[in-house]
């Protein structure tokens, strides 16, 4: 405040100031310097008391107990002491105001370090190389070559350090897709017989809006065009050329999932959406092999060998990986799609296409107060989303496939 501003007792004075929330946190926050880990995460997991409205904003964003990201601003007001000989300042008031942060950077699959699978492969190679080197050094020291530099001379004369290159460019992929098949066997009760193949795909950049302003549900459903899932159908009838034997409709029930991934150690890689689209068992199998490396490292440590920090940190992180999915029921609208078939003489099959918009179910949203924070990830934790599509094609069977979806 300038010297001319006079403050009177028991009169309030308004002073306006502005501040910006940085896009990135400090770069020493991630040991691995992964850009994705340095993006400022949204507020997460904690109810927030708004001192303006004197109300607590209840947050139901599926965060597990003890996990939270919170933002607040502190202000200190200093005053110059009256009748002091020299400039002497006293603290007049200290205040703290909590606020919520919603929008964060959009996640995409174009990570400079390669896809999640490629990053895990690179880590595995580094881990197995490191273990092999430790073993060879141990062998050399057992036969009397104990000086580290002498060991290195022998080791590096035979093993050249390998460089990795990535052939696949994930940035070129435009959508995520999955296939499923429905078999309609010949039966007395139905005239439909044949095989129905469905390709379900969604644009890579498709995103659902985050939900924080629960008071304003109408704007949520009106302002943005919902992301569209595309379906390609092909039906190969047992008896060719008769459209009366094709299934007439399918039911789609989308189930939204919040996916949380974390580890005991710092996560040394970045998750992409393609990784998320895999089944939970498939994801867990990617980490299973690191348990064997972890056990091998422990055995080596027990023989008194010193293991580099990089190796133990990587293996502790990858060996204690936790993947947790929380279904958010009825948050998306279900739909029945009528199928209008066209005969394709080339493939001797019937084909049709349909769009399925992913719309929030406003009734569910207003009855159950959800908060969906944008997807984010950092060294300790990742929150991402996917949609599981339960599809019924009328033959009594239900098939399910999952596709990743961004929320921002």
String of contacts with Zn ion for each residue 35-64, x by CB under 5 A: --x---------------------------
Segment interacting with Zn ion, rule: CB under 5 A, options 28-36, 177-185, 195-203, 397-405? 28-36
Query: What is the spatial distance between Cα 80 and Cα 123, in angstroms, rounded to a whole number?
Result: 58
CB of 36 to Zn ion, least distance (A): 8
Interacting stretch for Zn ion, rule CB under 5 A, among 24-32, 86-94, 117-125, 251-259? 24-32
Question: Alpha helix locations (H) across 223-330?
Answer: 273-276, 280-302, 309-319
Closest distance of CB 382 from Zn ion, Å: 11
Cα(30)–Cα(45) distance, integer angstroms: 21
Q: Closest CB to Zn ion among 263 and 273?
A: 263
Work out whether 140 is an interface residue with Zn ion (CB under 5 A).
Answer: no
For residue 339, the minimal CB distance to Zn ion (Å) is 47
Among residue numbers 344 through 403, which ones bind Zn ion (CB under 5 A)? 379
* C-beta of 32 vs 178, nearer to Zn ion: 32
Over the range 325-349, which residues count as b (16 or more CB within 10 Å of their CB) and which as e? Answer: beebebbbbeeebebebebeeeeeb
Which pair of tokens denotes residue 8? 């009177």
**What does residue 302 show for φ and ψ, rounded to 5 degrees?**
-65, -25
**Which 285-324 positions form the footprint of Zn ion (CB under 5 A)?**
none
CB of 29 to Zn ion, least distance (A): 7
- Give the residues across from 388 on adjacent strands: 255, 402
Is 30 among the residues that bind Zn ion (CB under 5 A)?
yes
Angle between helices 280-302 and 309-319 (to 10 degrees): 140
- For residue 85, the minimal CB distance to Zn ion (Å) is 52
Output 116 or 349, the one with its CB closest to Zn ion.
Answer: 116
Total residues belonging to the chain: 408
Contact 231, 357 (CB under 8 A): no
Footprint of Zn ion (CB under 5 A): 30, 32, 34, 37, 379
């Amino acid at each position: 405040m300038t010297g001319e501003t006079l403050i009177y007792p028991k009169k309030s004075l308004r002073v306006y100031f502005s501040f910006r929330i940085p896009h990135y946190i400090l770069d020493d926050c991630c040991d691995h310097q992964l850009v994705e880990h340095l993006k400022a995460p949204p507020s997460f997991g904690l109810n927030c008391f708004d001192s303006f409205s004197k109300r607590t904003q209840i947050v139901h964003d599926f965060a597990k107990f003890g996990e939270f990201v919170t933002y607040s601003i502190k202000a200190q007001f200093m005053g110059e002491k009256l009748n002091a000989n020299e400039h002497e300042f006293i603290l007049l008031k200290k205040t703290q105001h909590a606020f919520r942060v919603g929008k964060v950077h959009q996640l995409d699959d174009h990570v400079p370090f390669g896809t999640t699978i490629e990053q895990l492969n690179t880590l595995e190679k580094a881990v197995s190389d490191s273990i092999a080197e430790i073993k060879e050094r141990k062998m050399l020291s057992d036969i009397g070559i104990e000086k580290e530099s002498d060991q290195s001379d022998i080791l590096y004369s035979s093993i050249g350090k390998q460089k990795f290159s990535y052939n696949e460019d994930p940035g070129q992929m435009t959508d995520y897709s999955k296939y499923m098949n429905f078999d309609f066997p010949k039966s007395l009760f139905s005239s439909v017989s044949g095989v129905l193949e469905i390709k379900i795909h969604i644009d890579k950049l498709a995103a659902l809006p985050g939900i924080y302003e629960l008071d304003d549900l109408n704007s949520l459903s009106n302002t943005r065009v919902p992301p569209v899932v595309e379906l390609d159908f092909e039906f190969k009838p047992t008896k060719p050329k008769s459209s009366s034997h094709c299934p007439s409709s399918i039911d789609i029930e989308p189930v939204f999932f919040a996916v949380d991934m974390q580890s005991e150690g710092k996560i040394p890689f970045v998750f992409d959406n393609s990784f998320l689209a895999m089944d939970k068992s498939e994801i867990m199998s990617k980490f299973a092999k690191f348990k064997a490396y972890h056990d091998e490292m422990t055995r080596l440590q027990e023989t008194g060998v010193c293991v580099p920090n990089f190796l133990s940190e990587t293996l502790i992180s990858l060996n204690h990986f936790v993947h947790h999915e929380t279904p958010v029921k009825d948050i998306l609208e279900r739909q029945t799609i009528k199928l209008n078939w066209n005969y394709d003489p080339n493939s001797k099959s019937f084909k049709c296409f349909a769009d399925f918009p992913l719309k929030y179910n406003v009734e569910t949203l207003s009855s159950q107060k959800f908060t969906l924070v944008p997807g984010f990830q950092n060294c300790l934790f990742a929150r991402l989303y996917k949609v599981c599509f339960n599809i019924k094609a009328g033959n009594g069977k239900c098939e399910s496939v999952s596709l990743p979806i961004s929320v921002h």
